[in-house]
Amino acid sequence: METLRLAIAQINPVVGDLEGNVDLIRDLIEKVEHCDLAVFGEMSLTGYPLEDLLLKPGFIADNKNALNDLASMSGDCALVVGFADSDGENVYNSIAICHRGKIVGSYRKQNLPNVEVFDEVRNFSSGSEPLNLFFIGGVKIGFVICEDLWVPDGPVRGLVDGGAQLIIAVNGSPFHQGKQQERESLVNEISQKSNLPIAYVNLVGGQDELVFDGGSFITDSAGEVILRSSRFYESTIIADLSIEKNKTTESHLPVTEVSSTRNHEGRIDPSVAPTLKIYEELYLALMTATRDYVLKSGFHQVCLGLSGGIDSALVAAIASDALGPSNVTAVMMPSRYSSDHSLTDAEQLIENLGIASINFPIKEIHSTFSEQWALNLNEEIIGVTDENLQARIRGVLLMAFANANGWLVLTTGNKSEAAVGYSTLYGDTAGAYAVIKDVYKTGVYGLARWRNESVGNEIIPHSIIDKPPSAELRPDQRDDQSLPSYDILDPLLKSYIEGDRTRAELVEDGFDPKIVDEIVQLVDTSEYKRRQNPPGVRVTQKGFGRDRRLPLVNKYKG
């Protein structure tokens, strides 16, 4: 048995912030100095994903300089950090192993995901160097990067067969619901098959439409999780791992000697963070993504329109939890069609959360638009045009508050609405970040209830949760006048959007043909709205945005 003292450094780097990310890693060097090895996540030096920043040769050069700076600070503890390597022609998603002031080795990701939200073939070339092992703290370690782990006959197999005693996967793995179970189940299987411990190191934090949920973990050679970092928060866990001598006396792969066995003082047992329940996990994902989008963009305060409905109530709660109640302003903008209870409910929520508020009725502005319309066009403004007008007056006001105060606007539309286009472009969709754009309406209810239960207190008033949803843009309007009920709508949407089913297949699946026709057409003809919607965090297997890329002009009916 060898004892390897390993630090799993689950950090939250910022894309493009080379200096800041170096600082972040350097600040941990002292803390991990007594370890054999400290592992940071994928592209930890640069942030991830970098997209077309990687097309700038100047950026690649700067990132290599930053790596050299960092390597020069490394001591007895080997550091493994992610960076963009290049050979002058191609760019590689890579890790460097730094030790005692030098870069002692590297590994280039071999399998590049180019599906869903990933465009790695666009921005990277595949590594194709022969595999090798690193002898660190007396243990032969094989490194891979993210997707490499998921490929059945990929480099993991080569490393295992080649004599590795421990596999370390360096990841930038974004969250979607159920993802942590998928990771742990995959790694469990590989551990069991290879009879080796595996360390899975992830990033944490939000980046545009992605949120990295951490949850770094280590399985023992039987596949049991013996260490787990917290989800969604930065953490550096240090643990002593007992590693079996491998059965074959020699490795088939070349071994880079880095450091031999050290005598460590005492023994540090790994800690295991608990798994999270569905809505807790989802709520933390939304909170983290929102917080990081706002703060990493250089803002601190946000505003949002609070209608008295459940969507904006939930977003207000998330924003308040993410940024602190003093950084959130809820704006009530009642129109002539707003109900009294909406205002009362909104006021109760504002009090419960302790956030700031503005009450700005839009009746007068709405009237002036109508009068000017009549005067200039000699006709009345009516119907959907008038409904959209109210939503757009609110959008204009929210943006004006944001402009005047240096706030960001959060939008409050959910995935069910975005899917069927039940929204007004430049109206309720106007803003910087769409917090719940990838949460179906039924999930919005679940989250609101969970938020109340989490504190055993009615933060979001039950009257908001219980009333029938309405846009209140005309007298007595209710969502179910335009749409099927959400418990029918949401499974259909999920199947059409995430399942890529066609109209005919959905009918085969047992959905009502009339509803299928109506909804498929609504989804298809709303693509133009979604294209101009603000970014928002992806929490399902297929979010709108970079994930589901459909043409705008598209006459396929199905």
421 binds a second copy (CB under 8 A): no
392 binds a second copy (CB under 8 A): yes
Taking a C-beta distance cutoff of 8 angstroms, is the pair 1, 41 a contact?
Answer: no
Contacts of a second copy in 11-40 (CB under 8 A): 14-18, 20
- To the nearest whole angstrom, how small is the minimum distance from the Cβ of residue 406 to a second copy? 11
Residue 221 CB partners (closer than 8 Å, separation 6+): 191, 194, 195, 196, 197, 244
Q: Which residue is associated with the tokens 């370690």?
A: 141
556 binds a second copy (CB under 8 A): yes
521 binds a second copy (CB under 8 A): no
My answer on whether omega of the bond before 49 falls inside 30° of 0, hence cis, is: yes
| Catalytic residue, candidates 146, 281, 296, 494 | 146
Taking a C-beta distance cutoff of 8 angstroms, is the pair 433, 536 a contact?
Answer: yes
- To the nearest whole angstrom, how small is the minimum distance from the Cβ of residue 101 to a second copy? 26
57 binds a second copy (CB under 8 A): yes
513 binds a second copy (CB under 8 A): no
* 98 in active site: no
Selected binder of a second copy within 36, 148, 184, 208 (CB under 8 A): 208
CA nearest to 144, candidates 108, 173, 119 = 108
Stretch that binds a second copy, among 116-124, 127-135, 152-160, 515-523 (CB under 8 A): 116-124
Taking a C-beta distance cutoff of 8 angstroms, is the pair 7, 77 a contact?
Answer: yes
First to last CA, the chain: 60
| Catalytic residue, candidates 35, 77, 98, 109 | 109
| Catalytic residue, candidates 35, 42, 281, 472 | 42
Nearer to a second copy, 76 or 517 (CB): 517
Cα separations (Å) of 305 from 57, 330, 353, 412, 480? 43, 6, 15, 8, 22
Pseudo-torsion of CA 9, 10, 12, 15, nearest 10°?
80
Q: Which residue is associated with the tokens 């601190």?
A: 300
384 binds a second copy (CB under 8 A): yes
Stretch that binds a second copy, among 54-62, 126-134, 139-147, 442-450 (CB under 8 A): 54-62
Query: At 33, is the secondary structure helix, strand, or coil?
Result: coil
Contacts of a second copy in 121-180 (CB under 8 A): 121-122
Question: CA 135 to CA 275: how far, in whole Å?
Answer: 33
378 binds a second copy (CB under 8 A): no
Selected binder of a second copy within 119, 240, 347, 518 (CB under 8 A): 119
Contacts of a second copy in 522-551 (CB under 8 A): 528, 531-535, 548-551
Nearer to a second copy, 396 or 515 (CB): 396
Selected binder of a second copy within 315, 432, 492, 519 (CB under 8 A): 432
Question: CA 499 to CA 505: how far, in whole Å?
Answer: 10
Q: Is 75 exposed, middle or buried (0-12, 13-18, 19+ CB in 10 A)?
A: middle
Selected binder of a second copy within 308, 395, 413, 536 (CB under 8 A): 395
* 189 in active site: no
Cα separations (Å) of 65 from 18, 25, 43, 106, 231? 9, 15, 15, 15, 32
Selected binder of a second copy within 150, 233, 360, 445 (CB under 8 A): 360
* 109 in active site: yes
Write the DSSP symbol of residue 127.
P
62 binds a second copy (CB under 8 A): yes
Contacts of a second copy in 230-269 (CB under 8 A): none
CA nearest to 58, candidates 49, 66, 68 = 66
Question: CA 170 to CA 162: how far, in whole Å?
Answer: 19
CA nearest to 431, candidates 331, 322, 314, 554 = 331
Beta-strand relationship, 217-219 and 210-213: unpaired
Stretch that binds a second copy, among 159-167, 242-250, 315-323, 360-368 (CB under 8 A): 360-368
- To the nearest whole angstrom, how small is the minimum distance from the Cβ of residue 393 to a second copy? 7
- To the nearest whole angstrom, how small is the minimum distance from the Cβ of residue 206 to a second copy? 8
Contacts of a second copy in 282-321 (CB under 8 A): 292-293, 296-297
Selected binder of a second copy within 501, 526, 539, 544 (CB under 8 A): 501
222 binds a second copy (CB under 8 A): no
Selected binder of a second copy within 55, 151, 222, 278 (CB under 8 A): 55
Beta-strand relationship, 210-213 and 37-39: unpaired
400 binds a second copy (CB under 8 A): yes
CA nearest to 512, candidates 531, 529, 543, 489 = 489
Selected binder of a second copy within 317, 346, 393, 537 (CB under 8 A): 393
343 binds a second copy (CB under 8 A): no
220 binds a second copy (CB under 8 A): no
Helical H segments across 297-323, by residue range: 310-323
372 binds a second copy (CB under 8 A): yes
Backbone dihedral angles phi then psi of residue 260, each to the nearest 5 degrees = -95, 180
426 binds a second copy (CB under 8 A): yes
188 binds a second copy (CB under 8 A): no
Residue 176 CB partners (closer than 8 Å, separation 6+): 538, 539, 540, 541
504 binds a second copy (CB under 8 A): yes
425 binds a second copy (CB under 8 A): yes
53 binds a second copy (CB under 8 A): yes
Tokens of 436: 């719940």
| Residues labelled catalytic | 42, 109, 146
